[in-house]
A and B are shown apart, each in its own frame.
Chain A
Amino acid sequence: MNPSPILSALHLGKTVPGPEGDLTLLDDVSLDVHAGESAAILGPSGSGKSTLLGLLAGLDRPTTGHVRLQDQNLNELDEDELAALRGRWCGFVFQSFHLVHDLTALENVMLPLELKGDPAARETATQWLGRVGLHQRRSHFPNQLSGGEQQRVALARAFAVEPALLFADEPTGSLDHANGRHVSELLFELNRDEGTALVLVSHDEELAGRCDRRWRLEEGRLHA
């Protein structure tokens, strides 16, 4: 085993106030992800997968326990420091793509690079758009692209910053079978080529089956 994991969660718990007392969404969740590794968190809808992903990526604060990302305790960082950390190390792919509608495909891929202050953003982004096969569509806006194409732009955007870690929340959930296949092929191919660690959340067994490691989330508890 590698000495230090790129991402580790220790005794994570999340409770939210509900109308009938507190509601426990996650209970004592611990996991490690090492560099270059791909990990899947499986579970039915409503089991708390997105909640867990949000905690792991520092988008939300846990009620108990903590997350370490690149040896940083996320609990100790403020919102801007978290944003900077994400910008530096993480890529994201969402179920409903979440491209910026006011930016072209190319500009969407450039966006995280520009946020990092990369002077070669345009060239890098152009290259990445080529790698997902959308060079021709670079000046198109998201509403001019199909769902599958939008998700491929999202992949290019996620990989363009050469992240150490990629978070994906149901990346094929909004796509039909063929497009879903295409996107997941691309995801694993890039993951392998770039040596990026992948944290994938899904209820799709087939997708999860292609990952190195798998956990199951049931009623807020994580099972190997």
Chain B
Amino acid sequence: MRRPRMLSRTAFRPWRDGAFRLLGTALAIAAFALSSVLLLRAELNERFDQRTAEVLGGQLVLDGSRAPEPAQRELMDAVRTVPAVEFRTVLVRNEQTLLVSARAVAPPYPLFGRLTLAPERFGTEYTADHGPPPGEAWLAGQALDRLGVQVGDTITVGQKELKLSAVLKREPDGGAGFYSMSPRLLMHHDDLQATGVIAEGTRLDHETLIAGPPERIARVRSQLEENLRPDQELEGVDDAAEETLSPLRQLTLWISLSVLLVALLCGAAIYLASGERVQRHARHAALMRCFGASRRQVLDDLLGREFVAVLPASLIGSGLGVLLVWAIRRQMEWQGAWSAGPAVWALALLAPLVLWASFALPRLLRLLRTPAGEVLRAGGDHTRPALELGAALAGPVALAALLTQSWQDLGLVLGILVVLGTVLPALFWPGLRWLDRRSARWPLTLRLALRRLSRRPLLTLPLLAALTLAIATLTLAGQTGTRLIDDWQGQLPDKAANYFLFNLLDEDKPVLRDWLDKHKGEPSPLYPIVRGRLTRIEGTPIREAVTKDKQDSEEALNRDLALTTAEQVPESNRILEGEWWDADAGPGQVSVEADIARSLDIDPGDSVTFVTSRDEVTGTVTSIREVDWASFEPNFYFMFSPGSLAAQDATWLTSFWLPEGSGRRLSELLEQMPHATLLDVDALLERAEQIARQASGAAFLLAFVLMGSALLVLGAALLAGQNQRGLDNALLRILGARHALVRRVQLLEFVLLGAGAALAATALVLAALWPLGQRLFDGALPISAWQLLPLAAIALITVLGGLLSRRSLAQPPLALLKAG
């Protein structure tokens, strides 16, 4: 019974000391930031793997033209598998025929993600975690229009009749093939035999989708790899991750950087506060030494007690971090167990203590080195700058290593931190010096207030830098988040296209024009589309010609590209090299998109050859174009001069704007052009906006925590200077200053500090927004009410500073006599 009570006393008594409260708060904030980020990163990595698995259909996919061998099936016994067979087939109904891409699946399809369905064309969407039951089929919306069928009707696949029981909106693993998608039909694997397509010798694509615990997947993979048939291929999540990791890596890099900043600021606060703690302990330590306690005993007693007291603070912070990640998991509807393994959990709990060990411990260890008598005389400086500096550097570097987990990222993050830590304070230095000199002729109050800052550059400069960074980050996070999306949407032309329509035939053009007229839609130019595969550059077969930047070029080479012709440069395109053709230019000229030109090493003057469904098209490159992919206009990699594609089979592509609410009428239009495919841009935008809002929410939270830790440093600095400040104020009172004057000096000091930081932060924000304005807003800066945040920060700093230093105002003048 005694022990727990003693423990709770040692754990909670120190909280009565202001210095310890500050230290505890700093540690809790750092623990919150570190633990939530470590846990969140584990979740994100897992979600990313899961997302990749969704797109892929499984963590591992075995692909072949025939079903897997029995021996291979045996190997896969240890993991969950789904057979998925894909084939192309023609649906017929009332003389309408339609080529669809059919897929036969069995439970537990889908292994990852959910299917999105609708009860009818343009009906309210819902999701399902299973495929259609035997005897039923789900069909993509545009196929319904073309065939003129509705949910509830019966369709015939090969020789099998299937009941159409839902509209298929999205499959989790549906590729986003923009121009080459034939409508999807989803059916049950058990019905496959009855369709007779296998007997007919239709080309089939047999996929086995695989899911299971990572170590089993790895084992199955290596075993399968040794037993692959020539027609078979394995693809895993890791293959895909390698190609697409970079946005995730960038995100985690930025998060790591901000969290390290928070940790550093908290470290600074811990350092300052622990200086005060040392003074509290010093007398006690010296007494213990006087009475013959060994260094070991002093260590156990003081450090042990300090550590026991520090532990709850760290745990509370970590607990809040866990709570945050829990809330995020709920909000995002992330299912399943937590992704963090025992190692990550241990790290999340220990990381804040690393911070304490590197910023507080060396100062506390001072107590051991102090000779007994000297502490009592309150003299002697027993700092070990080398030890303290070393520890203060080692801790953050260790944390950075834990957070980044790669040498390259570690270097990058540390580099940025060093630049921020040195350049930003250095920028303030000349200004502070200048003010210091100028202030000689200023009125007393202003001079006193300014000098309190300018005479302590080692405290003021880092403090200014921290506050500036925090204010700027908070402003930017607020500004660039949802505001930016709104601004950008506002920036889009009033009637920006909200629908894309492709696969139009020549005879559809007047129909579309009339329909748009009737429904007050806004048409855009029509582009002919010819699908072609790039085969030769300058007459050299492409496989040999391409050397650079494998990934990008593969993307361009492994699929049919949409080729078009145009008389004029699309509005959102910009010519970088060469020249666009005249209106009466002959056929045979090509304009190439800049990125693809770079990755394929295409220059003006080169000739490019495409194979089309008919024959070949060759053109000479006369210009390189920059394309604004965010413009929501039809964009093309290769655009030919008019007439170049005349001999080809072309369909037409266009975009148009429809007033809100007219979308439901579209089925009317599509009935008249059953072969056409429609893309709803608003739906795409909504999804992008949702992601952007979540990201900006996260950025805002981080900025908020950063601001909190910057204010904590302010608090710690005030605490460390509290005694001197009290004496200074008392002296002013003795020399005849009124109370109001002393208070004014003090408030003015914080106003100046806040104003300096706010000014610099505003400059920083404008500097950051400038390139953004150039890129997105035709040179106009995206100004908003968030620009007023620095002003609010001045008020906050003043109020907080005033509150935290009010004790030094209450210091009676008599204290000066007591102070010697």
- Which of chain B's residues 418-455 have a Cβ closer than 8 Å to chain A? 440, 444, 447-448, 451-452, 455
A103: interface (CB < 8 Å): yes
| B433 → chain A closest CB, angstroms | 14
B737 touches which of A53, A87, A92, A104 (Cβ 8 Å): A87
Residues on B with beta carbons closer than 8 Å to the beta carbon of A102? 448, 451-452, 455, 728
* CB-nearest residue of chain B to A53: B817
Alpha-carbon distance between A61 and B813 when the two chains are bound, in angstroms: 12
Interface size on A, residues (CB 8 A): 34
Knowing A103-B451, A114-B444, say if A59 contacts B728 (CB, 8 Å).
Answer: no
Q: Are B444 and A83 in contact (CB under 8 A)?
A: no
Q: Are B736 and A94 in contact (CB under 8 A)?
A: no
* CB-nearest residue of chain B to A117: B444
| A112 → chain B closest CB, angstroms | 5
Q: Are B736 and A79 in contact (CB under 8 A)?
A: no
| A206 → chain B closest CB, angstroms | 21
Knowing A103-B448, A114-B444, say if A174 contacts B820 (CB, 8 Å).
Answer: yes
| A190 → chain B closest CB, angstroms | 18
Q: Are B736 and A84 in contact (CB under 8 A)?
A: yes
Q: Are A100 and B737 in contact (CB under 8 A)?
A: no
Residues on A with beta carbons closer than 8 Å to the beta carbon of B727? 98
Bitwise interface map of B from 739 to 760 toward A, beta carbon under 8 Å scored 1, else 0: 1110000000000000000000
Secondary structure at chain B's binding surface: helix, strand, loop or mixed? helix
| B753 → chain A closest CB, angstroms | 14
Alpha-carbon distance between A84 and B736 when the two chains are bound, in angstroms: 5
B736 touches which of A60, A87, A101 (Cβ 8 Å): A87
A188: interface (CB < 8 Å): no
* CB-nearest residue of chain B to A104: B440
Q: Are B451 and A95 in contact (CB under 8 A)?
A: no
Residues on B with beta carbons closer than 8 Å to the beta carbon of A87? 735-737
Q: Are B455 and A112 in contact (CB under 8 A)?
A: no
- Which of chain B's residues 697-726 have a Cβ closer than 8 Å to chain A? 724
Q: Are B451 and A169 in contact (CB under 8 A)?
A: no
Residues on A with beta carbons closer than 8 Å to the beta carbon of B731? 98, 100
- Which of chain B's residues 774-820 have a Cβ closer than 8 Å to chain A? 812-814, 816-820
| B731 → chain A closest CB, angstroms | 5
Alpha-carbon distance between A71 and B737 when the two chains are bound, in angstroms: 21
Residues on A with beta carbons closer than 8 Å to the beta carbon of B741? 115
Knowing A53-B817, A115-B444, say if A59 contacts B738 (CB, 8 Å).
Answer: no
- Which of chain A's residues 90-132 have a Cβ closer than 8 Å to chain B? 92, 94-96, 98, 100-104, 107, 111-112, 114-116
Q: Are B735 and A169 in contact (CB under 8 A)?
A: no
B163: interface (CB < 8 Å): no
Residues on A with beta carbons closer than 8 Å to the beta carbon of B817? 50, 53-54, 59, 94, 169
Q: Are B734 and A84 in contact (CB under 8 A)?
A: no
Q: Are A83 and B733 in contact (CB under 8 A)?
A: yes
Alpha-carbon distance between A64 and B222 when the two chains are bound, in angstroms: 95
Q: Could you show 29 A-B contacts with beta carbons less than 8 Å apart?
A: A50-B817, A54-B814, A54-B817, A57-B734, A59-B816, A60-B812, A79-B733, A80-B738, A83-B733, A83-B737, A86-B734, A94-B816, A94-B820, A96-B819, A98-B727, A100-B728, A100-B731, A100-B732, A101-B724, A102-B448, A102-B451, A103-B448, A104-B440, A107-B440, A107-B447, A112-B736, A115-B737, A115-B741, A141-B455
Given contacts A60-B812, A112-B736, A116-B736, 16 further A-B contacts (CB under 8 A): A53-B817, A54-B814, A59-B813, A83-B739, A84-B738, A87-B736, A92-B734, A96-B819, A98-B816, A100-B731, A101-B455, A101-B724, A103-B448, A111-B735, A114-B444, A115-B444
